[in-house]
Amino acid sequence: MNSRKAARTIPSTISRLLKSQAFLKSPPAAFEALLSHPPPPSLIRTLPSRPNEDLPLIHRERTSPKPSRGVKAKLPQPHTNRTPPRRPNTKNPTPLPIVFPEDRIRQQFFLDHPFEAYRPKDLNELETVQRDAPGPQGKEWTELRQRSIVPGPDDVIAFTLNLIEAHSIPLSKAYTHALSQYRTLKAEHEIATSSAIAEARAHGAYFFGEVERGLVSEERALDEWKDANEIQAQLLAGESTGARSGRGGGPVPMTGASTSSSSSTSTSVEGGMPWGDATRSNRVEEEPTRTYELTGGERYLERFEGRFLNQANLAAQERAQQRRDSTA
């Protein structure tokens, strides 16, 4: 029983006991004080009990009608739900698993083709999110090659799900049909690639391996940085020399000495390069019968030599033309 409710019933209980003259003969000392100052009412609102028809099915009082044999049947007592049922696992709630229809297909596909998980894949974030991949959808998509001739795992999963939803094909048949088309396209792509490589080698092409291609690209990037830094430093040194020579105020006239100094500057720029001569073309003619090997980036130095030196010569010619225009 609630403590406040028990406190409110103390005066009535004492009065009843005094009337009976069995347990109490005289009123206690606090009886008058309890009558004058009863406990305040509770601030908590007591909700009325819900009727049996309003309760959930599991909490309703099940009463089966019994035939009355000359005796009035006992009426069902109203149900009072004082202690609500306790929910199980309320302290540690766990969310339900999020499962998509593609998950089962994807799991089975990678169990059948584990090597597909090792293929590199680009994950680029675009401005807009594409809900569906470009290509046919729904009943128009009947073959896997309509989406791509080199399909991936996502294409196979999407094609299988499309067969199930749009064409009402069972999962087992749809997965088998999509897998057969996927393997056919993979075989066609492999045969076409091997044939193209054989044809290119017949015409004299040479292909590096995976390790060699990685080393060549790394050497190319390192050579670009090294040569660009050297040429940039020499160009800055030449510009600073020209600025010091023309600091006297006003344009510096072009004389024989200045012409010779500019030619000597360009010659020093060319002579300071590690590769020397700057008259080579930007394109390097390669011999078709030559066996190429890793040479530490020397072939790429030859290609970048003409490119950067041409830029230096063009910059020197532009400066000379500006000086002529200012003199005129």
Note whether residue 91 is domain-resident.
no
CA dist 179 and 49 (Å) reads: 62
The verdict on residue 296 lying in a domain is yes
Nearest to 270 by CA among 313, 229, 240: 313
Q: Please indicate, yes or no, whether residues 151 and 214 belong to a single structural domain of this protein.
A: no
Q: What is d(CA 175, CA 183) in angstroms, rounded to the nearest whole number?
A: 12
Structural domain boundaries, residue 222: 210-244+254-327
Q: Say yes or no: 230 and 180 in one domain.
A: no
State the DSSP code for 1: -
Check whether residue 152 and residue 226 sit in a common domain: no
**Contacts of residue 288, Cβ cutoff 8 Å, sequence gap at least 6:** 204
Exposure b/e, 258-285, CB count within 10 A at least 16 = b? beeebeebbeebbeebeeeebeeeeeee
Query: How far, in Å, are 32, 34, 235 from residue 29 at the CA level?
Result: 7, 10, 112
Whether residue 215 is found in the same domain as residue 197: no
CA proximity to 78, closest of 56, 60, 58: 60
- Are 296 and 217 part of one and the same domain? yes
| 185 and 232 share one domain | no
Cα angle 308, 310, 314 (rounded to 5 degrees) comes to: 120
Instruction: Please report the pLDDT score of residue 44 as a whole number.
Output: 74
Pairwise CA distance, residues 104 & 166, whole Å: 18
CB 242 within 8 A of CB 319: yes
pLDDT of residue 9: 84
Quick check: is 44 in a domain? no
Is 90 within a domain?
A: no
Residue 216 sits in the same domain as residue 270? yes
Helices (H), the chain: 3-8, 10-20, 31-36, 101-112, 153-166, 171-202, 210-245, 256-271, 298-327
Amino acid letter for position 245: S
185 with 239, same domain: the answer is: no
Q: Is 255 left (phi over 0), alpha (psi -120 to 50) or beta?
A: beta
Give the total number of structural domains in the chain: 3
157/217 same-domain check: no
Residues 181 and 228 in one domain: no
In a domain, 75, yes or no: no
* Same domain? 179 vs 260: no
Instruction: Give the separation between CA 108 and CA 178, rounded to whole angstroms.
Output: 13
Q: Based on the domain organization, do 232 and 299 belong to the same domain?
A: yes
Rounded-to-integer distance, Cα 105 and Cα 212, Å: 38
Residue with token string 């000597």: 264
User: Based on the number of CB atoms within 10 Å of its own CB, is 315 exposed (0-12), middle (13-18) or buried (19 or more)?
Assistant: middle
Is 289 within a domain? yes
Q: Does the residue 80 lie in any domain?
A: no
Q: For residues 95 and 225, give the distance between their C-alpha atoms in angstroms, rounded to a whole number.
A: 54
Q: For residue 176, give the nearest of 139, 144, 147 by alpha carbon.
A: 144
What pLDDT does residue 255 have?
42
Distance of CA 156 to the CA centre of its chain: 21
How high is the pLDDT of residue 68?
52
Residue 49 lies in a domain: no
Structure tokens at 258: 């200045």
Cα–Cα distance measured from residue 136 to residue 249, given in angstroms and rounded to the nearest whole number:
72
Q: What is the pLDDT of residue 300?
A: 56
For residue 143, what pLDDT is reported?
Answer: 93
What is the pLDDT, as a whole number, of residue 321? 87
Low-confidence ranges of the chain (pLDDT < 70): 1-5, 62-91, 124-127, 129-132, 242-308
